[in-house]
Structure 1
Amino acid sequence: MRRLLLALPFALLPLAVAHAAEEHEHASLGAHEHGVGRLNAALDGQTLELELDSPAMNLVGFEHVASTDADKAKIVTARTQLENPLVLFNLPKAAGCVVAAQELESPLFGDQPPVDVDEDEDHDEDVKDADGHEHHHEHSEINAHYQFTCAAPGALKTLDLANIFNTFPATQKIQVQLIGPSGQQGVEVTAKAASLKF
């Protein structure tokens, strides 16, 4: 099934190219953009895989390594919420889905180093200190991968992302690439329109 998710971007490449052509040159698919998350979803038989990628800013309110107790508490809270995907994705009870595997990764969790901002790119996050020296903020992502086994996958008619927007209000939109029984689709969901059909 992991291969299915890895193939998803290639299967949806025509949709992504069409969507990217409509976007501003600064807001391309896959780019680190605050307020925007990405979700790959694939339903194959009884297996549902979801892969959520989001700038840490959307989920915890910052992207630096936590040094204060308040920041550390925010990371623990976000991680705890991400560790409960049945609630986060509001999967229908009738589908009988159980978590078969899950993996959370982020430099904020101590898994990997933060990504430095490319100095050739123009970013609003460049900061000058009192001496006039520029400092670049680091970008941190939070990646969550879930695999569910669903006893009645036919009951998965929709994927409701409202709880993600409610839990992480800094998330303004999620770019979704989905493969399901009715084919493949690439859509953008918001808090006001947080549900999509499989």
Structure 2
Amino acid sequence: MRRLLLALPFALLPLAVAQAHEHKHDHDHHDHAHDSLGAHEHGVASLNVALDGQTLELQLESPAMNLVGFEHAAKSDADKAKVATAKAELEQPLSLFALAAGDCKATQVELQSPLFGDAGHHDHDHHEHQGEHSEIHAHYRFDCARANDLKQLDLAELFKRFPATEKIQVQLIGPSGQQGVELTPAQPRLNF
């Protein structure tokens, strides 16, 4: 399954390249780890989804601005509280992704961001040279007892809890093949 999810960005590279030509970039730099899926753009996140048998994997990548409202290190109590709240929300993926139909249980939740105090995060040196453009990465693995009942991925709750997220570029590999779609608060659902 890990191979399947990691191959996803490469399998969908032509789609990502086509989208990159359609969208202008707001910043002068690129995060090298994410060049294949596009550049850091406030309001925009990416979500890779892979459903293989009863295993569902999700990888969410978002500028911290979308999830906490800023990208600098949290120094004030108010900023630290925003980071803690966002982290707590992201640690509850079943409520964010509406997966009840598949009887899914989260078996793995990994969150990474310099804002969470990840000392070894790969962007640390990059930030000092390029300004602060922190990202938050979330990787989820679910075991879904009724995976065949999963008919759609519903991100309405994610958009509601993180209103600065205006659109999510979703790349999905599922039983009916691969697809790419842009979800928004007005259109938060993707059919498997």
The alignment's TM-score, normalised by the length of structure 1, stands at 0.86
Paired residue for 2:148? 154
- 1:5 to partner: Cα distance: 1.1
Q: Which of 98, 107, 122 is residue 100 of structure 1 equivalent to?
A: 107
**For the pair shown, which has the larger CA radius of gyration, 1 or 2?**
1
Paired residue for 2:50? 42
Q: Would the alpha carbon gap of residues 118 and 192 (structure 1) be closer, same or farther in structure 2, given more than 3 Å must change? A: farther
Pair 1:8 & 2:8 matched = yes
In structure 2, the gaps of 5 or more residues are 28-34
In structure 1, the gaps of 5 or more residues are 120-136
Paired residue for 2:127? 116
Distance in 1 (CA, whole Å) between partners of 2:23 and 2:68 is: 26
Paired residue for 1:163? 157
**SS of equivalent residue, structure 2 residue 178:** strand
The alignment's TM-score, normalised by the length of structure 2, stands at 0.88
- 1:90 to partner: Cα distance: 1.1
Q: Would the alpha carbon gap of residues 194 and 117 (structure 1) be closer, same or farther in structure 2, given more than 3 Å must change? A: farther
Paired residue for 1:124? none
Paired residue for 1:128? none
Pair 1:23 & 2:23 matched = yes
Pairwise CA RMSD: 1.7
**SS of equivalent residue, structure 1 residue 116:** helix
- 1:26 to partner: Cα distance: 5.1
**SS of equivalent residue, structure 2 residue 4:** helix
Deviation string, structure 1 residues 48-96 (Cα, Å, up to 9, x no partner)? 00000000000000111111111000011000000000001111x2311
Paired residue for 1:184? 178
- 1:155 to partner: Cα distance: 0.9
**SS of equivalent residue, structure 1 residue 163:** helix
Cα contact 1:114–1:138 (8 A) shared by 2: no
Paired residue for 1:57? 65
58-67 vs 108-117, greater mean Cα deviation: 108-117
- 1:117 to partner: Cα distance: 7.4
Q: Would the alpha carbon gap of residues 38 and 9 (structure 1) be closer, same or farther in structure 2, given more than 3 Å must change? A: same
